[in-house]
Structure formats: C-alpha cells, structure tokens
Amino acid sequence: MLKNRVFVNAYESLSCAGNTQELMNAIYAKESGITIDTSYMPHNRAGLGSFAPNAFFSSLVTVTQEVLNKSNLDDFSTTLLIVGSSVGGIGKSEQIFFREHSYKNINPKEHAISVISDTLNRAFGFKDSRSISTACTSSANAIMLAQRLINIGAYENVLVVGADALCYTTVCGFYALGVLSDEQCTPFQKERKGMNVAEGIAAVLLQGTRTDESVELLGSAGSSDAFHMTNPDPEAGGAISCMQKAIEDAGIMPTDIDYVNAHGTGTQANDAVEALAVETLFAHSPYMSSTKAITGHTLGAAGALEAIIACEVIKAQRIAPQTSLTEAENTRVNLPIEAVEKKVRYVISNSFAFGGNNTALVFGALK
C-alpha cells in the first residue's frame, strides 16, 4: 500500500540549555545546562536540568506559539495535537499537598497527563487531541503515531508536544532507584554515576506536504523486551529489534545510517545495552552520541526533543559530539568527542523506557 510521506516542517523547544538555537549552540560547544541542586533532597546533591521556576505551563504555550509562527498554518484548527508526557500535572498536585498536607484540594483533571493537552487546547483550539504516557518513550511514540496517521491520510497536520516538568516524584523516584548522578551525567563513560533528571518542552509539527526547510520522517518502530520493570534486556534484543524495524520502515539499510542519536542516559544498564545494540546492528560503525549531558533526561519530552536535535544535525550536516567523555566503556562504538562536519543523509534517534519499552525514529535529508 502506498503511504503518504511525512515531513517535519517546524519545531521549537525549551530545556535547561535554552531554546532550540541555544541548545544546538550548547551541544556543539559542549556546554551543559545541568546544575547541582539540593532543593529536592536537602541532604543529597542531584544534577538536574531546569528552566525558570513555575514557568512550565506558560512555557508550553510560548513554545507552541513559536511553532505556529514558523509554520505555514494560520491556526491549529485543522491540526491534531498528540502529547507525550511522563508526569503530566503531578507537580501541581505536589505543590498543593506540601502546602496543605492534604489531598482534598487536588484536582484530578490537573493531575493527569491530559492537563497538558487541555492547556494547549484552551490556548489554540486544536481539531482534536490525544495524550500518550509510556515513560521515557512518550513523545517518541507520539511521533510514531503521528507518522502512521499522516501515512494513511487521516490527518494532514499533526503537532506532537513532548513535555515534562521537574517534580519530587521523578527526582526522588530515580534517587530511590540508585540511578541519579550528583553531578553532570557522563553517557558511555567507563566510570559513570547515573542520570540527570530534567524538564523540557519540545513541539514538532509533522505534515503531509514538504517545504524548503523540511526534514523527512522516514520510519519508526517500537518493541518491548519486557525483561525487567526498570532494566533493559542485557543482550539488547529489544533495542536491536526496534532499530532494525525502524530502518526497514524507512526503506533503507543499516549501512545507510550516518548518525545515531543515542538514548544514552548515563546509567550503567542503559548505556551498556545501547552500545551493544549499536555495535551489533551497525557493522559500519556510524557516529553515535547522547546529548543528555547537555539537556539532562527530559523523560517524556526526550523523544521529541531529540527528534529536533536529529533534524538540526541533518540541516547543519554536523555530527553532535559526546560531551564529558574521557574513557569510553565500549570502544567498539564510534563516539566523537568533538563535532564532525560530514554528509549526513540518515539519522536514527533512540528512546528507551522502563519495562523494555523501545522506540526508534529515522529521519532523512530531502531528496
């Protein structure tokens, strides 16, 4: 069956490294937005990524307005909104509980994942909306769903918004799991401490028609190895399968991939398995790096944020370096410590989550 092509035509983001332009400058300069924080856990340091206090919901509207301004649309009345988020409005509920020491005044509608789509619907009036919560693959899965809907002609315009705010639930939860670093994370480093929890917003407009600035979303796929509640399959079966299927969906070969935008959280389990998966699937050893040493792990927003980074790498024809790497654990994968100028045709962007939930997206330069 013939499928409609899918194009990334406009986007904007906000993270601890700033907006999209500021983010890309920081990535290539290897300047991290992570700060050391003790406000969530007074007796423990944590490397976190944050922007202005209490600015999350206003920033959602600002970032989305920027995408509309950059688009070929007058408004979003013909656009489907798909939100990917891990925590939704949990931060609001926490504030009420800590202030009042009671659950009584917590509004369930402002606690749920859908509070993000409700906020954006009030501001922009989308044709319809959906919300997806699959932990750290949330917005990557939202992009995959958008691709499928445009492929079959169900929608011409889909806006994917990945968004998660910092909150006690995530910061303390990852600390309890023993995977939270007390300094800037060091993905793929031999001696690494863990991840940095961060907040982020990323909005990506996907359409069935191309523009001069388009990057094509060629393929996507998901898998679930269901090995463990939090740890991935140590043999990397799910990660390999996911990437392989995304490449097949794109209609290309593994040898065509020029750059792997890695999930690369800086935890022991994730980095070892992802490096093994890349080493196994890509015999030609494409460049690979994780940008989470700059942005931190933005949880449900990570897939959309890193889709933007993948598109920017293609537009710049410049590989993102691996920040904070001095001694790689796996020396058989190609981790550049400085930016690399080269022809970039195809990029694969990985998102991996708890429960062995894996998603990969393949982007390509226009032909």
Give me the active site residues, please: 136, 263, 297
Among the listed residues 135, 138, 201, the one whose alpha carbon sits nearest the alpha carbon of residue 173: 135
Cβ–Cβ < 8 Å for 342, 293: no
Among the listed residues 82, 87, 135, 132, the one whose alpha carbon sits nearest the alpha carbon of residue 356: 135
CB burial of 50-71 (b: ≥16 within 10 Å; e: otherwise) equals bbeeeebbebbeebbebbbeeb
Residue with token string 């601890």: 16
Among the listed residues 139, 89, 141, 143, the one whose alpha carbon sits nearest the alpha carbon of residue 113: 89
Neighbours of 125 (CB within 10 A): 12
Q: Cα–Cα distance between 103 and 96 in angstroms, integer? A: 8
Cβ–Cβ < 8 Å for 114, 121: no
Residue with token string 């340091």: 45
End-to-end CA distance of the chain: 21
Q: Output the six-digit token pair for 185.
A: 């994370």
Q: Output the six-digit token pair for 288.
A: 């690979």
Give all strands (DSSP E) within the chain, no chain letters.
Answer: 7-15, 18-19, 35-37, 46-49, 79-84, 128-132, 157-164, 197-198, 200-207, 215-224, 259-261, 287-289, 318-319, 340-341, 346-353, 357-364
